[in-house]
Amino acid sequence: MPLISSFDPWKNSTCTCPPKLTLNPYSGCDHGCLYCYASSYVQNFAECRPKKDLLQALKREAAKLKGEIVSISNSSDPYPRAEAGAGLTRRCLEILSESNCRIQIITKSNIVTRDDDLLTKVPSSVALTITTDDDNLARILEPHAPSSTERLRAAQDLIGAGIPVSVRIDPIIPLVNDDPSKLIATLAGIGVKHITSSTYKPKPDNWRRLSQALPKIAEKLKPLYFQQGERVGGNTLLPKDLRFKLLSNVRELASARGMKFGVCREGLPTLNTAACDGSWLIPAAAR
C-alpha cells in the first residue's frame, strides 16, 4: 500500500470531491472527537503513531508527483498533540515543498501555523475544522483538540501569512451546534472564503461516545436517525428534508457573507456553490 494514495478509491456515491491524493503521516488520532468516523475502522485509534518508514517512503513517492493535490489528512489529523514535539508532519511538508504537488491540509489544530513558512513555498490551502465558536461545547465535542478560540486565531494567522483558509463546520449535530450564524459572521470577518459542512453520521462507536457525553440529546436524536433517517452511501443519515434544511441554512449564511459552500457526503450535491472540499482555494501554480 503506497503512503500517498488515491482519495476515495471506492468512489463513494455521495463524494463530490475533485480528484486528489491523500497522505496520513499518523495512524490514529488523539483529539478524541465524540463524532469521529475514523475511530470505527482504525484499530487502537486513540494511540496516535507515525506511519511505518514514513519519511523514506515519502521521499520515494514524492519524487513521482506531477502536480496533484495531496490532501493531508483524511483519516487522522496531521497535527495531533504529539506533532508539537515530533515534527513529523513538518518533515513531510519539507519533502513535499520540494516536490511537484499542491497541498491541502485538513486539521483542527493551531500547530499548523508553525508550518506557514513551508505552506507558502508550495501552492496550498488549509481547511480548519471549527464546529462551534463556544469553547465549552468544543471541549465536550473534541476534548483533546485545541479550543475554538485557538483555531479561529490560527485561521486569522494563516490568512495573514497569505495562505487561503476554508473552514469545515463538520459535523452539524441537531440540537447541539445547528445554529452557526455567529460563527460564520466571525469567519467572514477574518477572511475565510469557503465553508464545507455536513451532518453527523452515527457509527456504533461514535454513537456510544455521543450517548455517554450528551444522553438527553442522544435520546432525542435516536428516532431521527434510526427510525426516520435514511441509508445513503453506506452511512445512516438524518431524514433528507432535515439535512436539506440544516445545510441550506449554512449555505445561505455563507453566501450572504460572500463565501463559497460545499457539503460533504450528504447526497445533496446541488447545494454546492464550489468544489465541496474548498480545494479551489489552492493556487494553480507556485506563488
In the complex, what is the shortest distance from the CB of residue 47 to ligand SF4, in angstroms, rounded to a whole number? 12
Give kind and range of the element (H or E) at residue 170. strand 165-172
Among 4, 17, 21, 36, indicate the residue that binds ligand SF4 (CB under 6 A): 36
> Is 38 a residue that touches ligand SF4 (CB under 6 A)?
yes
- Other C-beta atoms within 10 Å of 53: how many? 10
Is the CB of residue 15 less than 8 Å from the CB of residue 65?
A: no
- Residue whose CB is less far from ligand SF4, 203 or 240: 203
Q: Which range touches ligand SF4 (CB under 6 A), out of 30-38, 93-101, 227-235, 269-277?
A: 30-38
| Backbone φ and ψ of 2, nearest 5° | -65, 155
The strand pairing partners of 100, in sequence order, are none
Residues 17, 102, 265: CA angle, nearest 5 degrees: 15
Among 21, 23, 29, 111, indicate the residue that binds ligand SF4 (CB under 6 A): 29
In the complex, what is the shortest distance from the CB of residue 176 to ligand SF4, in angstroms, rounded to a whole number? 15
Interacting positions 79-108 with ligand SF4 (CB under 6 A): 108
User: How many Cα atoms within 13 Å fall on the side-chain side of residue 99?
Assistant: 23
Give the integer Cα–Cα distance in Å for 125 and 162: 10
Is the CB of residue 34 less than 8 Å from the CB of residue 140?
A: yes
Interacting positions 62-81 with ligand SF4 (CB under 6 A): 76-77
Q: How far is CA 204 from the centre of its chain?
A: 21
| Total residues binding ligand SF4 (CB under 6 A) | 9
> Is 34 a residue that touches ligand SF4 (CB under 6 A)?
no
Interacting positions 103-142 with ligand SF4 (CB under 6 A): 108
> Is 209 a residue that touches ligand SF4 (CB under 6 A)?
no
**Contact positions vs ligand SF4 (CB under 6 A):** 29, 31-33, 36, 38, 76-77, 108
